[in-house]
Amino acid sequence: MTDPAPAMTSYHLSEKAGRRLRRRYARERGFKVLSLGALGLTALFLVILLGSVVLSGWSGFITTKMRLDVTYSESHVDAGDPSSGNIRMVVLDALRERFPDVSDRRGLRALLGIVSNRGFLDVGREVAGDPALVGRTVEFWLPVSSDIDMLNKGYIDRTAPEDRRRLDDRTIAWIDDLEASGDIATVFNWTFLTSGDSREPELAGIGGAVLGSFWVLLVTFLVSFPTGVAAAIYLEEFAPKRRWVDIIEVNINNLAAVPSIVFGLLGLAVFLNVMHLPRSAPVVGGLTLALMTLPTIIITTRASMKGIPPSIRDAALGIGASPVQVVSHHLLPLAMPRLLTGAIIGMAQALGETAPLLMIGMVAFVVDLPGGPADAATALPVQIFLWADSPERGFVEKTSAAIMVLLGFLVAMNGLAVYLRQRFEIRW
């Protein structure tokens, strides 16, 4: 016969104990939810960050064009010297023909303002290349100015009062008219991917910045990879285990934690002011970032050399290889996949780096595409920084679109690193 009474009075089974236990379990559940919530919050930040970039940036990849039938009349363009013709008048005539009811000066100027400056260049270039066009009519799809582009993408509030809007009612009516007749088209924005910077948002592109980043990374890789690997090999395989090797080691770890802007100061003081290398040039940016990625590369190289079993070393030494041959014939080839992975990750870090490049003057306004590492250039993150500062509405979408391109490059590089690691990883 069991009697529950004594059990109920025991310390562990009393009612008080039950309450205590429930409280402990509640606290446990609360803690678990709290820590999961922290992770969820992090995920939420990531989603908001990426989401807001994509939401404001996708429209940077498309642009608005308008169709215009342009007649190169002899009165404005001389067949003998077509490149010095008055193209503005040619375009103005075409616009007048399209909107015959506009005749006042202000209206005509506003009409010309629809077309982007690049449009005039396009029209002029066409006839300069083919003088036989004089006197004939050609159909053009011309880029429109940034305000019209913004209107077409829906960034301009049509319901706002006219004086608080960037476009007046008449211009909006013209655009609606063009739209109704199918003369407005939304197309992929190749200009954005291929051209250099510009003061006008509709003509600004990241081509120059991407090329600049390419030259910077090339210099960074060519300098930091061989140097870093050589330094790591020396420290790991040949350095006598003496005190100053420890000093180098501590030094490398500390160097990895130095803020990037301090490397920029170093680049400014040493490369520009002492060595007189050209300002704003990718070669200086590359050297500065190379010094910055050096610790990363040395650390990954040493880790991958440590990961190779000693038996390989012993076997090679045993059949008469010299220590240098052990490294060059066996250790280096075996470590290569991990070395490359580390180098790619280091390069991805260097690609996103902005502050040191500001220090060495890579913030210049550069319209031309850089043709080599000594030409003035900006880099992709610096271009983002510059555009983020621009007040025009048109640059907001360009900034976000440039961020999307930068993130795309980073994803591709890190993806390549992961692929290489999995494809070539050797398990001992």
Partner 1 sequence: MTQIVLTLLLVALAAAGFCLGRHRAARLSGGRPSVLHSRPVYHGWFVALACGLPAISLWIATLVVGDWLVESAIVASLSQELQEASGPVLRRFLSDAETLAAGGTPTMEVTPALEAAADAFSRFRALEHWIGFGAALGAGLVASRVAFRRIDIPARTRQPVERVLLAVLLVAAAISVLTTAGIVFSVLFEAIRFFDKVPVPDFLFGLKWSPQIALREDQVGSSGAFGAVPLFAGTLLVTVIAMAVAGPVGLLSAIYLAEYADPRFRAVAKPMLEVLAGIPTVVYGFFAALIVAPALRSAGMGIGLDVASESALAAGLVMGIMIIPFVSSLTDDALAAVPAALRDASLGLGATRQETVTRVVLPAALPGIVAGFLLAVSRAVGETMIVVMAAGLAANLTANPLDTVTTVTVQIVTLLVGDQEFDSAKTLAAFALGLALFVMTLGLNVVALRVVHRYREKYD
Restricted to residues 51-70, the positions that interact with partner 1 (CB under 8 A) are: 52-53
Give the binding range for partner 1 (CB under 8 A) out of 67-75, 101-109, 145-153, 222-230: 222-230
The β-bridge partners of 46 are: none
Least distance between partner 1 and beta carbon 402 (Å)? 10
Kindly identify the residues of this chain, within the stretch 230-249, that bind partner 1 according to CB under 8 A.
Answer: 230-231, 233-235, 238-239, 247-248
Among 9, 75, 137, 251, binds partner 1 (CB under 8 A): 251
Closest CB to partner 1 among 83 and 325? 325
Kindly identify the residues of this chain, within the stretch 378-397, that bind partner 1 according to CB under 8 A.
Answer: 381-382, 384-385, 388-389, 396
Least distance between partner 1 and beta carbon 413 (Å)? 10
Quick check: 268 binds partner 1 (CB under 8 A)? yes
Quick check: 212 binds partner 1 (CB under 8 A)? no
Closest CB to partner 1 among 34 and 180? 34
Residue 359 to residue 230: CA distance in whole angstroms: 29
Residue 404 to residue 145: CA distance in whole angstroms: 23
Identify which of 195, 200, 348, 224 has the alpha carbon closest to the alpha carbon of residue 286. Answer: 224
Kindly identify the residues of this chain, within the stretch 316-375, that bind partner 1 according to CB under 8 A.
Answer: 322, 324, 348, 351-355, 358-359, 361, 363
Identify which of 225, 216, 185 has the alpha carbon closest to the alpha carbon of residue 351. Answer: 216
Closest CB to partner 1 among 214 and 385? 385
Among 295, 346, 370, 394, binds partner 1 (CB under 8 A): 295
Closest CB to partner 1 among 153 and 302? 302
Residue 165 to residue 167: CA distance in whole angstroms: 6
HSE-up of residue 139 (Cα within 13 Å, Cβ side): 2
Quick check: 399 binds partner 1 (CB under 8 A)? yes
The β-bridge partners of 397 are: none
Closest CB to partner 1 among 185 and 277? 277
Quick check: 169 binds partner 1 (CB under 8 A)? no
Give the binding range for partner 1 (CB under 8 A) out of 98-106, 112-120, 185-193, 220-228: 220-228
Quick check: 46 binds partner 1 (CB under 8 A)? yes
Quick check: 32 binds partner 1 (CB under 8 A)? yes
The DSSP line for 127-176 is HHH-GGGTTSEEEEEEEBPHHHHHHHTT-S-TTS-GGGSSS-HHHHHHHH
Identify which of 349, 385, 391, 395 has the alpha carbon closest to the alpha carbon of residue 364. Answer: 385
Closest CB to partner 1 among 142 and 231? 231
Least distance between partner 1 and beta carbon 76 (Å)? 34
Residue 285 to residue 361: CA distance in whole angstroms: 9
* 18, 136, 143 from 188: Cα distances, Å: 68, 29, 12
Summary count for the chain: helices (H), strands (E): 18, 3
According to DSSP, the β-strands at 184-188 and 62-71 are: antiparallel
Residue 134 to residue 29: CA distance in whole angstroms: 81
Residue 196 to residue 367: CA distance in whole angstroms: 5
Closest CB to partner 1 among 38 and 315? 38
Closest CB to partner 1 among 172 and 410? 410
Quick check: 410 binds partner 1 (CB under 8 A)? yes
Block residue for tokens 């080599």:
372
Quick check: 17 binds partner 1 (CB under 8 A)? no
